[in-house]
Amino acid sequence: MALQTSPDSPAALRTISTAVGDWIGRLGAVWVEAEISELRRRPGTCFLTLKDRVANVVVSATCHAAILDALPAPVGPGAHVVLQVKPAYYVPRGSFALEIREIRLQGEGILAARLEQLRHALAAEGLFAQERKRPLPFLPAGIGLITAKDSAAERDVLENARLRWPGVRFVVRHTVMQGPDSARDVIHSLGVLDADPTVDVVVISRGGGSLEDLLPFSDEGLVRAVFEARTPVVSAIGHEQDVPLLDLVADVRASTPTDAAKRLVPDVVDELAGLGQARDRMRRVIRGHVDHEAHRLDQLRSRPVLATPSTVIDAAEAIVAEQRERARRSVTHRLDRAHDEIGHHLARVRALSPLATLERGYAVAQLTDGTVVTRIGQAPSGTDLTLKLTDGAVHVRAVEEDT
């Protein structure tokens, strides 16, 4: 029922706001189709901005965080959804919003949910593990390229790589890069290039497209084939915002085909410049080392021992001469003392020698066996004796003395 108001009998603002809230509250839950243009999460509650997919209509909405968490895949801005909502009017602020009770993904959202489930399953098997990814060779002898024939992606990779390194060699395999047969053809081409010993790295490249166009590059069979390949694989699918599962399993993800070319080969200009800089640094280091050693040699040559080598020899010769003279004096002194000692000993020996006694007229009587006769009883009459004198010996015979 319409409110009865007039300039003389106006309704209070709270009355109008309450009436509007009552009218909106009479609407039941309805299903609406919309696109999420903005999403802000808060503890327990999420705030969304929904817009019509055709008309320029934007409506605010709220939902419990559990409703978003229950979806098979995360949703964000741009997601196409169907929602069960209850219109609500907040009287104190006079604001209108939709209370979301259920969300269902539509179109690409369903595909995204399936891909998200597959991603979680493959990640749990370790196919996307960072530690298994292999580094690219610095300068590959051969590069395998899997792409569509005469495509922009092929031109971008070939031209940019050859601009960076003119001598790069490519082995190109043209395959179907879109549609139901694409994944199978890419797997076959990957197997051929992986078995080629002249190919050091393989690039799988195509331009951007919708989620459905890039769906073959999230094929489970292709993901497993890349994981099992012995040759490093570079994924260059779509644009920066496109992330098919191939990007996650590849050893290197390039945001675009042009970016892939930059990652495949070094820039010859940069390398020549770096080589020149390295040469200059080596030259400076070697020159500095040589100059340092030459300075050390000059310092060594300036020392007296090297400037006049005979100085050391002369000093050593003087020391040797002095030592020789000291040795001569010491030996001479020692010999003199020894000569005196020998003279003293000789005098004592001579004084104690029996010959000195014999020289005074004494003789030593010995029996024929050499026994010295000291008593008469040892030499009875008729005994042969030898008398030793100072200058020889005399043989005599004992006779009995007449009394």
pLDDT digits (tens, 9 = 90+) for 281-326: 999 999 999 999 999 988 888 877 777 777 778 888 889 999 999 9
Task: List every span in the chain annotated with CATH 2.40.50.140.
Answer: 13-106
Q: What is the pLDDT of residue 113?
A: 67
For residue 240, the surrounding DSSP H or E stretch is none
This prediction's pTM: 0.53
The 10s digit of each residue's pLDDT in 51-91 is 998 888 999 999 999 998 888 777 778 788 889 999 998 88
114 Cβ contact list (under 8 Å, min separation 6): 72, 73
Contact 161, 168 (CB under 8 A): yes
**Which CATH class, in words, describes the domain spanning 13-106?**
mainly beta
The pair of three-digit structure tokens given for residue 272, joined into one six-digit string: 């020549």
Residue 81 CB neighbour total at 10 angstroms: 20
CATH topology of domain 114-266: Rossmann fold (3.40.50)
Task: List every span in the chain annotated with CATH 3.40.50.261.
Answer: 114-266
